[in-house]
Amino acid sequence: MTKTIYSAVITIMAIAVAPVMGEDTKEKWLDAGVALAAAAEENSPPAEAARQEAHEEKCCSPLPFHCIEGYSGGAITPMAYMCNGWCPKKCCKYPVVSYSFLNIGTKEMQVFAVTQSLFERLEFGYAYNYLNLGSLTEDIRGAGMDPGRDDVQLHHFNLRGMLIKENDFGLPLPAVTAGVHFKYNDGVQRIDRNLGGPFKAIGLDRSSGVDFTLTASKMFPKLAFGRPVILTGGARWSQAAQIGLFGFGDTYHTTFEGSAVYLPTDWLALGYELRTKADPYGKIRGLVGEEDAWQAFSASWIVNSHLTVSAVYGMLGNVGNTREDNTLGIQIRWEF
């Protein structure tokens, strides 16, 4: 089934940032509804144009993507913009939900996420990550040990606040957002106890931790061939090993993360993301290697004002016992 899913979506590769800038959006983040309504009016009979315009006035286009950790951004990094937080229309004040599936080589991960924005400044988010450890548990059993389970489950609880809106104070400023992210891993310490504590010996300190993020995003309306480009950069302070999927160490490390998104059409967004990683653990030969930076190439199809379908090709480097530089993923995201 996994191969069937990916053969259908591999040609779209991923991040969900909605399309288009109309003339009124030169200094705003993707106010797509105005441009789409205008285009519909030019090509429709008066009654149909009126209905289309009323619909577009009612709902803005869905944006941006859901990160696998349960907040707004790309596939693996945050953006300063918030799901629905940019749109002043009343119908865009409801929750955003998504389901993602990632084939991480010999491992598989499923993600369920939900976000809710308030007052155009706050975003609450939750994500549930289920990771099947695949060949890692096979290699542990091959070494004569029993981990007791084949998976870990990671819960993310996120609170983000927009400190500066884009172009605040009449200045060409980026949007700036700060975040606090509590994470709890159900499984990693139990596996470690079953094995006699090898992960604790190399740095596993606890099954929960808190990340802190500071992110800035800026849209340039006509930067590439007259079409918009969104640039994002930020810092993360974290104790997590593999974003928390392998637990947490006892020391905070500062890392960089950023993305570039290009909008070649009104319905397609193409992106590149980079997330540098710190290494809170030591190594266990054949089971736990040094963490590498994550990279992702992505594309997103804006189906309508509620639905986004996205896919991603990721290069994650070493993840536990194997290198995973051919990760494929898909996300289906719905705004109520």
C-alpha span between 336 and 323 (Å, rounded): 38
- 5's torsion region: left (phi>0), alpha (psi -120 to 50) or beta? alpha
Report whether pLDDT(190) > 90. yes
Q: What mean pLDDT do residues 311-317 have?
A: 95
Residue 144 has a pLDDT of 85
Domain formed by 2-29+63-335, architecture: Beta Barrel (2.40)
Report whether pLDDT(51) > 70. no
Neighbouring residues of 298: CB distance < 8 A, sequence distance ≥ 6: 13, 14, 15, 65, 74, 75, 270, 271, 272, 273, 310, 311, 312, 313
Q: Considering just the CA atoms, what is the radius of gyration of the chain in Å?
A: 21
Name the token pair of 51: 């209905």
What's the pLDDT band for 60 if we cut at 50, 70, 90? low
Residue 53 has a pLDDT of 47
Contact (Cβ atoms closer than 8 angstroms) between residue 25 and residue 31: yes
pTM, to two decimals: 0.82
**How confident is the model over 231-257, as pLDDT tens digits?**
999 999 999 999 999 999 999 999 999
> What percentage of the chain exceeds 90 in pLDDT?
64
List Cα–Cα distances, 267 to 62, 65, 219, 254, 336, in angstroms.
11, 14, 17, 35, 19
Read off the amino acid at residue 292. Answer: D
Residue 172 has a pLDDT of 94
C-alpha span between 321 and 31 (Å, rounded): 45
Q: What mean pLDDT do residues 59-71 have?
A: 81
Residue 45 has a pLDDT of 44
**How confident is the model over 3-24, as pLDDT tens digits?**
444 444 333 333 333 333 333 3
How many other C-beta atoms can be found within 10 angstroms of the C-beta atom of residue 88?
9
Q: Hey, where are the domains in the chain?
A: 2-29+63-335
